[in-house]
């Protein structure tokens, strides 16, 4: 289960490869409105040791190109490759819509079947382009990946810190 510290931060972006020679980087945004990533103020590493401010952001094919304050050349930009960027959970607006959640709020929830059998713990929500996929870490340590849809995850109860899942049935 994630620590309170990890629940207090939300990953909003990932830095990719350097772009050009002037210190710009490719940036993938995980916010509902992708360009809003620049509006959340300074972004930081998960442990909070390093902070980054987006100076400029422009759209590219399937990502953004970002200029980050203090990153002046390609070598400095390359050192940031694959770095996830976070903001404190408190900077995100409250959600007023039913059945709408921040992915970070789902990490660590217990996954059970309708009959109460434990399946595992939600360890991640991924989006590989088509739709969201929920990752559940099984008691064996293996991962179960399932489409994150109403059909496979019919119930989410943040108060009880659990979700109901309908895992795939085994075939003989």
More confident residue, 96 or 166: 166
- pTM comes to 0.70
Domain spanning 103-164 has what CATH number?
2.30.30.240
Q: Is the pLDDT of residue 170 over 80?
A: no
How far apart CA 63 and CA 44 sit, in angstroms, is 19
- Backbone phi, psi, residue 96, to 5°: -100, -10
**pLDDT, tens only, 85-112:** 999 988 888 887 777 788 888 999 999 9
Given a contact cutoff of 8 angstroms between Cβ atoms, the answer to whether 102 and 117 are in contact is: no
Tokens of 107: 């990490």
Mean pLDDT score of the chain: 88
Predicted local distance difference test score (pLDDT) of residue 33: 86
Q: Domain coordinates of the chain in residue numbers? A: 8-91, 103-164
Predicted local distance difference test score (pLDDT) of residue 169: 66
**pLDDT, tens only, 14-69:** 999 999 999 999 999 988 889 999 999 899 999 999 999 999 999 998 899 999 99
Spelled out in words, what is the top-level CATH class assigned to the domain 8-91?
mainly beta
């Amino acid at each position: 289960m994630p620590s309170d510290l990890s629940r207090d931060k939300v990953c909003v972006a990932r830095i990719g490869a350097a772009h050009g020679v002037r210190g710009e980087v490719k940036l993938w945004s995980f916010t509902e409105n992708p360009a809003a990533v620049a509006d959340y103020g300074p972004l930081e590493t998960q442990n909070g040791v390093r902070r980054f401010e987006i100076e400029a952001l422009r759209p590219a094919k399937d990502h953004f190109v970002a200029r980050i304050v203090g990153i002046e050349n390609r070598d400095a930009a390359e050192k940031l490759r694959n770095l996830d960027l976070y903001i404190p959970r408190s900077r995100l607006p409250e959600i007023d819509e039913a059945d709408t959640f921040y992915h970070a709020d789902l990490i660590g929830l217990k996954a059970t079947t309708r009959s109460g059998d434990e399946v595992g713990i939600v360890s991640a929500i991924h989006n590989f382009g088509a739709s969201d996929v929920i990752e559940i870490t099984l008691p064996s340590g293996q991962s179960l990946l399932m489409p994150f849809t109403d059909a496979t995850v019919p119930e989410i109860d943040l108060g009880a810190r659990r979700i109901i899942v309908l895992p795939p049935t085994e075939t003989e």
